[in-house]
Structure formats: structure tokens, C-alpha cells
Amino acid sequence: MSEAENIELIKRFCATWKDFDIPAILDFFTDDAVYHNMPIQPVQGKDAIKGMIEQFSTPFEGGDWEIKNIAASGDVVLTERVDKFIGAKSISLQVMGVFEIKDGKIAAWRDYFDLAEWTKQMA
């Protein structure tokens, strides 16, 4: 895929979080993908990624991931985002994301954020 196609893939991925449609979110990943929320241990495979997403998304009804900046170099896409999780208590978190693309799917996803900020807003 071209860099422009990789960027569009990640834009679609971020938009999918609006309704927390987990099957639709998982469709973006390769079967052996790695997801690493940097303050937490990485997980590998769609089942493990599903478990991680369910764990942190349970208190929320939906989300709004605002991409501030996005860039690609080959099969790597970088995003600077503000991830908003919407529910009885809403969270807004600044995130830097790195996505590695393989054959039109996300093979690796790493998010960097301030865990203390997440914890503070969840309290």
C-alpha cells in the first residue's frame, strides 16, 4: 500500500472507535498483531487485543478520536491524537500512536500516553 493508503487506513481505524464496535475494530488487525499500550505489557493476537480493548472500554459508551497530526513513512503511520472516551464519566487523553501496516492491516500498534493522566481522570 502507498503511504496515502496507509494514512487513510488509520483514519478509518480511529473513526471506528466512535461506537466501540469491537468486531469492526478487530477487522483492522492481522491475526498475529501486537498491541502495546506503552505503560502496560504488550498483547499479541486478535483475542488478546479484544480482551485489552474490552478491559479499558467497558465504562464507556463510545469515543471520539481526534487526529491532530498524521504522517507516514513507508508502512509506518504516526498519529498525534486526543482520544475521548464518552460515558457517565468522560476522559480526554493526549496520545501518540505508532502503527505498522502489513498487507493492508495493522500488524503492530503502540500508543504512548500519560498513565497518571488516565488514572487521575478515572478517579
**What integer is the mean pLDDT of 41-65?**
92
Structural domain harbouring 104: 3-122
How many independent structural domains does the chain possess? 1
Which of the four pLDDT bands, split at 50, 70 and 90, describes residue 87? confident
**What integer is the mean pLDDT of 54-83?**
93
Read off the pTM.
0.93
Helices and strands in the chain, H and E counts = 4, 6
**What integer is the mean pLDDT of 62-83?**
96
Which of the four pLDDT bands, split at 50, 70 and 90, describes residue 58? confident
Average pLDDT, the chain: 94
pLDDT of residue 101 exceeding 90, the answer is yes
pLDDT computed for residue 40 by the predictor: 87
pLDDT computed for residue 49 by the predictor: 97
Strands 105-112 and 29-37: parallel
Alpha carbons within 13 angstroms on the beta-carbon side of residue 16 total 16
pLDDT computed for residue 106 by the predictor: 98
pLDDT of residue 27 exceeding 90, the answer is yes
Domain of 25, CATH number, reads 3.10.450.50
Q: Secondary structure of the chain: what % helix, strand, coil (to 5)?
A: 35, 45, 20
pLDDT computed for residue 57 by the predictor: 84
Please state, in angstroms and rounded to a whole number, the distance separating the CA atoms of residues 89 and 66. Answer: 18
